[in-house]
Amino acid sequence: GESVGLHLPTLSVQEGDNSIINCAYSNSASDYFIWYKQESGKGPQFIIDIRSNMDKRQGQRVTVLLNKTVKHLSLQIAATQPGDSAVYFCAENPQTGNQFYFGTGTSLTVIP
Amino acid sequence: SAVISQKPSRDICQRGTSLTIQCQVDSQVTMMFWYRQQPGQSLTLIATANQGSEATYESGFVIDKFPISRPNLTFSTLTVSNMSPEDSSIYLCSVWGGTEAFFGQGTRLTVV
């Protein structure tokens, strides 16, 4: 499979602060990326996606940035809330089908 | 969107035995995917299950150990054969919904 890694395995932030989660991917041909959130005991849930023809995409309180030059993704969460505490994964689609390859994961803890 | 149901949600099995995990989707999908998530780890793609053809396995996974069935467009099974404690993981079924991948809640397997 592809190699998709995250820089930080854990992240703790104060409630109300912004969070930034980073991800590196290895396949320069990948053209589609998704960030997933996984709460304890549940399957991953879609947060936001971005295609390789974009540098930035915004959702509700979340922004994904894509830097194709250095093969780097980031997820920014604004005004982090306790409900944001979870493990976050980036996943890449390498154009060979609809399967995704997942990064290591970052555990986000929001401190009230 | 797609709703995915997995059975069983969890099981404790003796080493050397086999367990078959079922995945039911509420809509017809061409491709279904099976992932493994070992404790504290990310998701690793096991195989892609296509209806009407043999599953495609990722490097490190073989059909004898993880046989897959795909009898129709809404159902698939993954069997974990001749289990050992190293097979203790969460196994997740996933489908491609056109714009994102959807996941089941997972089957938490413990091998003793």
Assign residue A21 the CATH number of its domain: 2.60.40.10
Question: What dihedral do alpha carbons B97, A87, B104, B52 form, nearest 10°?
Answer: 60
| Domain span holding position A19 | 4-111
DSSP 8-state secondary structure symbol assigned to residue A95: S
Q: Taking Cα atoms as reference points, which of B48, B68, B70, B67 lies closest to residue B57?
A: B48
**What is chain B's mean pLDDT, rounded?**
93
pLDDT of residue A1: 45
Considering only residues 51 to 110 of chain A, which have any Cβ-Cβ distance to chain B shorter than 8 Å?
A: 89, 91, 97-105
Q: Taking Cα atoms as reference points, which of A40, A42, A43, A19 lies closest to residue A91?
A: A43
Nearest by CB to A43, which of B33, B100, B104? B104
The residues with which A15 forms a beta bridge, in sequence order, are none
Tell me which architecture the domain covering B4-111 has in CATH: Sandwich (2.60)
- Weakest-pLDDT range from A26-40, A93-107, B17-31, B68-82: A93-107
Distance of CA A111 to the CA centre of its chain: 20
Q: What is the pLDDT of residues B35-88, one digit of tens each?
A: 999 888 889 999 999 888 889 999 999 999 999 999 999 999 999 999 999 999
Q: Count up the domains in chain A and report the number.
A: 1
In a mutational test of the B interface, the residue from A92, A100, A104 whose CB has the highest number of chain B CBs within 10 Å is A100
Alpha carbon distance A92, A73 (integer Å) = 10
